[in-house]
Amino acid sequence: MTTHKVRRLLLPTILTILVLLSVGLSVYIWMNPSRYERESKVSTTSSNSTLATRTVDDIYLPTQLIQTDSKGKQALLINKNVSLVSQFKEQISKWDARSISKVRVTSAKSYTALLNGEDSYVLNFPDSVTVSMFNTVFNQNLRNFRSSEFSRIVIPIHDTDHLYLLNDNHHEIYSVRLQKKSLKSLSQVLAADKVKAITVKMTYEANATYLDYAEPVKMQQYSYLMSKSAASEIANRLLDADGNSTVSVHNRSGKQEYTTGSFKRMTVNPKLGTVYFEDYSDSGDTRKMSFTSQLQKSYKYLVSLGVPMDNIRYYGYDSTSSSVIYRSYVEGFPIFNQTENGDVRIQLTANGLDRYYFSLYSLQVPVPTTGNKQSVTLPSSTSVLKKLIAAGYKNSKIGSIELGYQWSQNKSSKLVIDLTPTYYVYYNGNWRTYTSMLSGS
């Protein structure tokens, strides 16, 4: 038998063993003798095991690195083997941020000039964070403007003394004076052969910055083995933190409802694998939290869920519902459709009510993809926008057009999740794939 034939037989065999092992472990974890088909009582005990988690500075890292060259051309930089954003974080943490001051900006044009300045790097957050979070993420100690918000970090290459924090809302700019600034090691990292450059253009209008993909984009498609957290373990963790309570389980309209006392309730939708948790313990108590406090506390609550956090990152803040939103990412691109909203939401209301919404499902280990499924070429976002307008969609209702991954179950195995690259369009308050919009589905 040739080496080529052996390799062809070996890969399916290994994959089959992994799938069978995953099935066996999953059955052991998921199965409950009663399956909660009738009202029951579940005694709980606290777990002393340490949950694998990620630090707050990992969760609140920027997600994109944009380079503007000496001619003003911009590119989104990616290395599938190394997180370039993490490399920048490591380097910035070595710099000494001495002071911060607010720059007087008289127009959107001036703001755009700095945003798209030649010979610079821009680190983009998915949404606003605060200067306090900048201190946390990059190990700095800026004392002024700590509550001020920003969503971009501009690092001029030839300015050895400054970086800039940019807030799209009302085009605010904060200048951070530095010591020990050096880009030498980063230049070596970015010069590596495995760094991929995707042509983009940042456009600032109506107090928002949009990332346009000016050319067709070739994206990798992935498949992962899926893991599922046990609802009973999460119920123990959220409803019985002290290990002295009894959690009641009821089956209501096809959903499993876990309660302890009259203040906490966790509802599981077995069909969708989603969890909705409510804590009324402090309901009615007025509380005032700064934006920084909401970001920090929501992270602590995210950790308390016990769900795998390997791919989770901060995605945004919904001021209408006071919710901090997290989403899974692959290579700096967000994953959609994991839940109805495609995200994890931590809501901390002013009247003391806490709500969490998340999925039991998460990605486990990558599964090799072969043949034509390895990559997908998408059109430019500019052409996508033109097609949507031509199809009758109102430009005024089209928000961001975001490059991301669509979560879908593999047709051959229920234990495998396919991640397919596509454009998501924020239209009329909802995220939809551009293909579903054009097809009318």
Q: How does pLDDT run along the chain (441 residues), one tens digit per residue?
A: 444 444 444 555 555 555 555 544 443 333 333 222 233 333 333 333 344 568 999 999 999 999 999 999 999 999 988 899 999 999 999 999 999 999 998 899 999 999 999 999 999 999 999 999 999 999 999 999 999 999 999 999 999 999 999 999 989 999 999 999 999 999 889 988 789 999 999 999 989 999 999 999 999 999 999 999 999 999 988 997 666 778 899 998 899 999 987 789 999 999 999 999 999 888 777 788 999 999 999 999 999 998 888 889 999 999 999 999 999 999 899 999 766 656 899 999 888 899 999 999 999 888 877 555 688 999 999 999 999 999 999 998 999 999 999 999 898 898 999 999 999 999 988 899 999 999 987
Residue 38 lies in a domain: yes
Indicate whether 205 and 108 sit together in one domain.
yes
Q: What is the pTM (predicted TM-score) of this model?
A: 0.86
- What is the C-alpha separation between 176 and 163, in angstroms, rounded? 5
**Strand positions, DSSP E, 21-119:** 40-43, 64-68, 74-78, 96-103
**Of 215, 233, 255, which residue is a domain's last?**
215
Residue 432 lies in a domain: yes
Residue 25 lies in a domain: no
Domain hosting residue 265, numbered range: 32-54+218-441
Q: For residue 385, what is the domain's CATH number?
A: 3.30.310.160
Q: For residue 167, give Cα distances in angstroms to 200, 267, 273, 283, 317.
A: 20, 38, 37, 33, 15
- What is the C-alpha separation between 209 and 202, in angstroms, rounded? 6
Q: How many CA atoms lie within 13 A of 195 on its CB side?
A: 19
Q: How much is the pLDDT for 211?
A: 96
295 touches 151 (CB < 8 A): no
**Of 180, 215, 250, which residue is a domain's last?**
215
Residue 162 lies in a domain: yes
Using alpha carbons only, give the angle 159, 164, 167 rounded to the nearest 5 degrees: 155
Structure tokens at 304: 């308390």
Q: How much is the pLDDT for 373?
A: 62
Q: How much is the pLDDT for 281?
A: 84
Q: How much is the pLDDT for 12?
A: 54
Indicate whether 424 and 283 sit together in one domain.
yes
Indicate whether 196 and 135 sit together in one domain.
yes
Residue 287 lies in a domain: yes
Indicate whether 293 and 185 sit together in one domain.
no
Indicate whether 163 and 115 sit together in one domain.
yes
Which amino acid makes up residue 349? T
Q: How many CA atoms lie within 13 A of 11 on its CB side?
A: 9
Q: How many CA atoms lie within 13 A of 295 on its CB side?
A: 25
In the chain, how many domains are there? 2
Residue 27 lies in a domain: no
356 touches 301 (CB < 8 A): yes
Q: For residue 6, give Cα distances in angstroms to 1, 12, 17, 18, 411.
A: 7, 11, 16, 18, 26
